[in-house]
Chains A and B, each alone.
Chain A
Amino acid sequence: MLFSEAQSLTPVLSMVPLVVFLPVLGLIINLLVGRRLGEGFSGAIASLASGGSFVVALLLAFELARSPEPVTVPFLDWITIGEFSARWAFRVDTLSVTMMLVVAGVGTLIHIYAIGYMHQDVRHNDDPGRFNRFFVYLNLFIAAMMILVSADNYLMLFVGWEGVGLCSYLLIGFWFEKGKDGIANARAAKKAFVVNRIGDFGLLIALFLMFAHFGTLDFAPVFEKAPALAAATPGVLLAMTLFMLLGVTGKSAQIPLYVWLPDAMAGPTPVSALIHAATMVTAGVYLVVRSTPVFTLVPAAQNAVMWVGALTAVFAATIAIGQFDIKRVLAYSTISQLGFMVAAAGMGAGVAAMFHLVTHAFFKALLFLAAGSVILGMEKGHEQAHGHEAEQHGHDHFDPQDMRNMGGLRDRMPTTYWVYLIGALALSGIAPLSGFFSKDEILHAAEGNHVAVFAILLVTAFLTAFYMGRQLILVFGGTVRTRAAGASRENPAIITLPLILLAVLSAAGGLINFPGSWALDKWLEHSLEGLAPASFDPLTALVSLLVAMGGLGTAYLVYLVAGQVIETTTPDPLEKLGPLWKGITAKWGVDELYDALIVRPYKALAGFLAHPIDQGVIDNISGGIAWLMNASAEVLRRVQNGFVRSYALIVLIGVVAILTYIVASR
């Protein structure tokens, strides 16, 4: 049975709304009194709220371990009009609870880390008052993400989907007066929202199609009715799934809508870790996996999803190679890894996609937070080394995120170095770290089905190992290249402890679906029907391991043997690639292309419509007709003379006359 109704709710199951309402409570408390009671209070309340959500999710997981069938917990009749009815109900199944655990688990660690990080960030940016606001936004995000993953129908999923988009907007633009020319952060936030709205347009159309053909947006009946529609009018189902895919490319930053994610790095680093790496951006993957019963009916759509994912994976990986900003490397890497997940979901390998989603949440959150630790270290080092000069010259242009300014941090920030190493190796797919297993499952799925996709993903795996090797060397290896890097030092425990925990998860995360035990497969098969049985192929594993080692080895050869980056001005050894390098560093000109094809024409069109058309043609025609209809020449002349009020008076007199006539003639 796919669906069991509410009558037999256990006490634990009926607690599920708390995953949303604990963070809401946290943000309300912080809104009301957080600022007055200080940083420690705000941070603690927000972390407790998120931690509370995690505890509830854990309890739900135990409950499901006992009886794993999906349950729907009704909560509120949200919109009921005629035959349309959308309720807010919580779906508790192994898939949604997996997402809840990731969101609240990683989320809580990031909350704790952010107490330390934002303490310094708000001072570095001269506005300590914004500390509390940050945690309000962060709790709002957890709440919205929980609405998304716990939804029982596509409408509530969409509510969460747009809700997390709002949080992303607020947090990318957190320092809304900073960035290039003071406006870059605000622009990045707007870009993220608008690009995501384009994706949301697709998702909305998919929802409308669903209602038009199924009469409902609830998961269970939609999945039930989909086969009949696939048999009757397969074109409709294809359109529905492709529009859904458009939504996926927005939220999960895939071609063609990935362009917002690199700019989103304008947000504080904990935001990049939580929203733009570990959780929100995986919502698209979740959507496809959740909709598996629909997608499997439309092989063409599955193919489209797979190709979008695979191409995004390799495309973004090439750009990651040429970045110097420590966070931007990770941003393009995130896009690329999301491509892996989307490709897997497209191949019908839903478990592999979810497995990689979970391990990626661990190691990419780790990498971002560790990068944040590096940035804080660099900022402190810079202040110490240049403190007096900076005071004399006003603000300077030192970029604490530029990897060319780093080098040799291994000895100065040892904890950060070790956790970063673990994260980077996990991402590169080195056994026995988590990324090895999850990536291997995706590669194995591709190998069986689509040779070209397998090849593309293998190339991506090589590039991934290469750019992570490059980053490790530029940041932690080689020589110290600036005084700031030289003076940098390790961060306190509130920062490093979450890092260590995430490092443990990144290292051991493979156990979740360890070959042989297949725990995740068995767990998720209660939510997803008709999954192919998992298998492990030692040969594929060996190939992917060799490819990863090859990537790291190449980075070692290029950056430590052939050409060391000794000074900040040393050219990157890859510059020898010539035009290829130019293309990479220009990010293949996609932003410029969109600007020329979409943004500027839209501006021109809007200008044309606003002035010559609206204020000219339309105003003259419709206005002219109105004048004609009203005007005897006499009235017109009076109006032009300025005695306009008399015209109104005429009407007033007219109305009064009618009234008098009516009353008098009774």
Chain B
Amino acid sequence: MNFSLILLTFSPLVGFLVLLAFREEQKNALRWTALLSSLATFALSIWVLAQFDPAAPGLQLEVNQPWVTVAGATISFQMGVDGLSILMVLLTAFLTPLAILSSWESVKERVKGFMLFFLLLETGMLGVFLAQDLVLFYIFWEFTLIPMYFLIGVWGGERRIYAAVKFFLFTMAGSVLMLLGVLYIGLTGGTFSLPALISGREAFAGAQIWLFLAFAAAFAIKVPMWPLHTWLPDAHVEAPTAGSVILAGVLLKMGAYGFLRFNLPLFPEATLALAPYMAALAVVGVVYGAIVSYRQADVKKLVAYSSVSHLGFVMLGIFALSVQSLSGSILQMVNHGLSTGALFLIVGMLYDRRHTRQMNAYGGIWKIVPVLGALMLFVTLSSAGLPGLNGFVGEFTILLGSFSSKTLGNPWFAGVATLGVVLAAVYLLVMFERVFLGPLTQEENRSLKDLNLREVLVLLPILALILWIGLYPNYFFSLITPSVERLTAALQAASVAMP
């Protein structure tokens, strides 16, 4: 048995234990411990990548240890990685150290608790992407909820309690339904092991529409899909910068990933039947999120609604069910994590300086903070889908694949979603203009300081990846596509079998 994935998943807990040894006053020691721990986890994720064979479509580095049998159904400690999850794992391990580094100065109180929760969260997220047993997945899924709840509720802004509770209640509402689905499947299928359930899915195929909906409830709220998105703007606005980065960068992806990992292979007939409806909601999300973003006065809210739009693209790509659109969706999940993560980081850097996120408190500051402005423009353009940067590759392949999708059967879904590309330029350039362009409108901004070395170091790795994916995406597609082709082949078989 290969222990790489177990090591990777639980490596943050080593940092967690070391953190316990320090006192709250040793703030820098706490910060360094958390950073080094997350960097070690990142190194482990690269090690996993090195062992990963891109050409093999199935699960790799598998761990499978039967654990317990409940009412005739086996729960196992089963993990594995494939093309659907490898990039999510890397993204998580990549963003966590950057998020920790970004909190170096902005989190001054209760540093110990903050770092403890952060490392717990990382284990939870990695577990979600690696678990191959439904119960194990559910435990990790719920487990991420708690640290994020506290990160928002304790280190958040003024309305943090409201936002944290809202985040919690929305997510729990979906999770409850998913739990029912998990139990039903496990008890009828006699196992909770995902690969075993996929090959034995006849056992619960009769109820698959309902099961699809039960899982979809949890995942759609997490993504979030329109109209279940209203927790997101509140959560983002109140969350501390690092919380927003991880929330947008990784937690939302758990929703989209859940669809890929569970709904598509477990309920292929239901997927095919419901795909047009899911795609329609996705397209509404694309357009709606873009329109609503345009009228936000708070930068963080604007970026939050832009996530609704961007994840609409991801969901469209998933339910268009073509190889191109699915691969594009997975890459776009990474892209969104990078671009939106970077946007939140930069907004956080502005907030650290001026303690406001209202756009009208800025205006014309590019002259004052040239480096900050240039990096913001770079990230904004990546988010707007400019060719040469990452966002374009994802959006283009999603739309290209969705346009000629046989499942959706007509080009209108992608056609309307393409409007989102136009609208994204509107809200993003309006934001850039309001904050950075024009004359300097507020005297107090004259003394704003440009980025310091630590801040540049936080952003540079993200910018490098944005450029890499934009210029040479084929490396990333080579990781994704074999697994996607395996998935679409299974769906293809289901669609042939359908009456």
Contact of A622 among B228, B328, B387, B403 (CB under 8 A): B228
CB-based contact A648/B149 at 8 Å: yes
- Tell me, in angstroms, the Cα distance from A84 to B388 when the chains sit together: 19
Check A621 for interface membership: any CB of B closer than 8 A: yes
CB-based contact A201/B429 at 8 Å: no
CB-based contact B437/A652 at 8 Å: no
Contact with A along B211-232 (1 / 0, CB 8 A): 0000000000100000110110
| A186-B421 contact, Cβ under 8 Å, with A80-B477, A163-B387, A606-B295 | no
- Tell me, in angstroms, the Cα distance from A605 to B75 when the chains sit together: 51
- Closest CB-CB distance, B53 to chain A, in whole Å? 18
* Beta-carbon nearest neighbor of A169 in chain B: B429
Check A237 for interface membership: any CB of B closer than 8 A: no
B window 365-384: CB within 8 A of A: 366-367, 381
CB-based contact B67/A609 at 8 Å: no
- Closest CB-CB distance, B376 to chain A, in whole Å? 13
Contact with A along B283-296 (1 / 0, CB 8 A): 00000100110111
B146 contacts across to A, CB distance below 8 A: 648, 651-652, 655
* Beta-carbon nearest neighbor of A642 in chain B: B161
- Closest CB-CB distance, A86 to chain B, in whole Å? 9
CB-based contact B397/A212 at 8 Å: no
* Contact count A vs B, C-beta below 8 Å: 203
- Closest CB-CB distance, A206 to chain B, in whole Å? 11
- Tell me, in angstroms, the Cα distance from A527 to B381 when the chains sit together: 35
Check B415 for interface membership: any CB of A closer than 8 A: yes
Contact of B172 among A81, A83, A623, A651 (CB under 8 A): A651
- Tell me, in angstroms, the Cα distance from A166 to B143 when the chains sit together: 44
Contact with A along B6-30 (1 / 0, CB 8 A): 0000000000000000000000000
Please tell me which stretch of B55-63, B84-92, B162-170, B244-252 contacts chain A, meaning at least 4 of its Cβ atoms lie within 8 angstroms of it. B162-170
Contact of B153 among A79, A200, A626, A644 (CB under 8 A): A644
CB-based contact B366/A176 at 8 Å: yes
A window 573-616: CB within 8 A of B: 602-603, 605-607, 609-611, 614-615
Q: Is the interface of A mostly helix, strand, loop or mixed?
A: helix
Check A211 for interface membership: any CB of B closer than 8 A: yes
| A212-B404 contact, Cβ under 8 Å, with A166-B386, A614-B230, A623-B166 | yes
CB-based contact A610/B292 at 8 Å: yes
| A177-B227 contact, Cβ under 8 Å, with A82-B324, A204-B399, A208-B404 | no
Check A619 for interface membership: any CB of B closer than 8 A: yes
- Closest CB-CB distance, B226 to chain A, in whole Å? 8
A623 contacts across to B, CB distance below 8 A: 166, 170, 230-231
Check A182 for interface membership: any CB of B closer than 8 A: yes
- Closest CB-CB distance, A535 to chain B, in whole Å? 41
- Tell me, in angstroms, the Cα distance from A321 to B364 when the chains sit together: 36
A208 contacts across to B, CB distance below 8 A: 399-400, 403-404, 411, 414-415, 418
B481 contacts across to A, CB distance below 8 A: 80-82
| A82-B419 contact, Cβ under 8 Å, with A183-B438, A197-B425, A629-B173 | no
CB-based contact B426/A639 at 8 Å: no
Check A220 for interface membership: any CB of B closer than 8 A: no
- Tell me, in angstroms, the Cα distance from A205 to B173 when the chains sit together: 39
- Tell me, in angstroms, the Cα distance from A76 to B475 when the chains sit together: 12
- Report the interface size for chain B: residues with CB under 8 A from the other chain: 77
Check A511 for interface membership: any CB of B closer than 8 A: no
B288 contacts across to A, CB distance below 8 A: 609
- Closest CB-CB distance, A316 to chain B, in whole Å? 24
* Beta-carbon nearest neighbor of A645 in chain B: B153
CB-based contact A186/B433 at 8 Å: yes
- Tell me, in angstroms, the Cα distance from A200 to B386 when the chains sit together: 11
Check A662 for interface membership: any CB of B closer than 8 A: yes
CB-based contact B421/A204 at 8 Å: yes
CB-based contact B142/A666 at 8 Å: no
Check A6 for interface membership: any CB of B closer than 8 A: no
CB-based contact A158/B387 at 8 Å: yes
- Closest CB-CB distance, A591 to chain B, in whole Å? 17
- Closest CB-CB distance, B72 to chain A, in whole Å? 14
- Closest CB-CB distance, B64 to chain A, in whole Å? 16
- Tell me, in angstroms, the Cα distance from A158 to B165 when the chains sit together: 46
B window 152-183: CB within 8 A of A: 153, 161, 164-166, 168-170, 172-173, 176
- Report the interface size for chain A: residues with CB under 8 A from the other chain: 74
- Closest CB-CB distance, A645 to chain B, in whole Å? 7
Check A3 for interface membership: any CB of B closer than 8 A: no
| A81-B324 contact, Cβ under 8 Å, with A177-B440, A630-B173 | yes
Contact with A along B380-402 (1 / 0, CB 8 A): 01000011100011001101110
| A204-B474 contact, Cβ under 8 Å, with A82-B323, A159-B387 | no
CB-based contact A187/B433 at 8 Å: yes
CB-based contact A609/B292 at 8 Å: yes
Check B327 for interface membership: any CB of A closer than 8 A: yes
- Closest CB-CB distance, A458 to chain B, in whole Å? 37
* Beta-carbon nearest neighbor of B68 in chain A: A662
A642 contacts across to B, CB distance below 8 A: 161
- Closest CB-CB distance, B131 to chain A, in whole Å? 14
Contact of B430 among A76, A190, A607, A651 (CB under 8 A): A190
* Beta-carbon nearest neighbor of B429 in chain A: A190
B367 contacts across to A, CB distance below 8 A: 127, 177
- Closest CB-CB distance, A607 to chain B, in whole Å? 5
| A627-B169 contact, Cβ under 8 Å, with A614-B292, A666-B67 | yes
Contact with A along B406-422 (1 / 0, CB 8 A): 00000100110011011
Check B344 for interface membership: any CB of A closer than 8 A: no
CB-based contact A625/B474 at 8 Å: no
| A630-B172 contact, Cβ under 8 Å, with A80-B474, A82-B324, A182-B438 | yes
| A629-B176 contact, Cβ under 8 Å, with A205-B415, A648-B149, A666-B68 | yes
A window 521-573: CB within 8 A of B: none
CB-based contact B292/A79 at 8 Å: no
Contact of B328 among A81, A198, A658 (CB under 8 A): A81
* Beta-carbon nearest neighbor of B176 in chain A: A629
A658 contacts across to B, CB distance below 8 A: 139
CB-based contact A639/B386 at 8 Å: no
* Beta-carbon nearest neighbor of A611 in chain B: B295
Check A440 for interface membership: any CB of B closer than 8 A: no
B426 contacts across to A, CB distance below 8 A: 194
CB-based contact A610/B295 at 8 Å: yes
- Closest CB-CB distance, A83 to chain B, in whole Å? 8
- Closest CB-CB distance, A129 to chain B, in whole Å? 9
Contact of A211 among B165, B166, B403, B477 (CB under 8 A): B403
Contact with B along A417-447 (1 / 0, CB 8 A): 0000000000000000000000000000000
Provide a sorted-by-A list of 28 A–B residue pairs whose CB atoms are within 8 angstroms.
A76-B472, A79-B397, A81-B477, A82-B324, A163-B386, A169-B429, A177-B438, A177-B439, A177-B440, A186-B433, A194-B425, A201-B418, A201-B422, A208-B400, A208-B403, A208-B404, A208-B415, A209-B403, A606-B292, A610-B291, A610-B294, A618-B227, A626-B169, A626-B231, A629-B172, A642-B161, A651-B172, A662-B75
The 6 closest A-B pairs by CB, nearest first: A182-B439, A82-B323, A212-B404, A186-B437, A208-B403, A159-B387
Chain B interface residues (CB < 8 Å from chain A)? 67-68, 70, 75, 139, 142-143, 145-146, 149-150, 153, 161, 164-166, 168-170, 172-173, 176, 221, 227-228, 230-231, 288, 291-292, 294-296, 322-324, 327-328, 364, 366-367, 381, 386-388, 392-393, 396-397, 399-401, 403-404, 411, 414-415, 418-419, 421-422, 425-426, 429-430, 433, 436-440, 472-474, 477, 481, 485
Chain A interface residues (CB < 8 Å from chain B)? 76-84, 127, 155, 158-159, 162-163, 166, 169, 173, 176-177, 181-183, 186-187, 190, 193-194, 197-198, 200-201, 204-205, 207-209, 211-212, 602-603, 605-607, 609-611, 614-615, 618-619, 621-623, 625-627, 629-631, 639, 642, 644-645, 647-648, 651-652, 655, 658-659, 662, 665-666
Given contacts A623-B170, A625-B173, A647-B168, 15 further A-B contacts (CB under 8 A): A77-B474, A78-B472, A82-B322, A162-B392, A163-B386, A182-B364, A186-B438, A187-B433, A209-B411, A603-B295, A626-B169, A651-B145, A651-B172, A655-B143, A662-B67
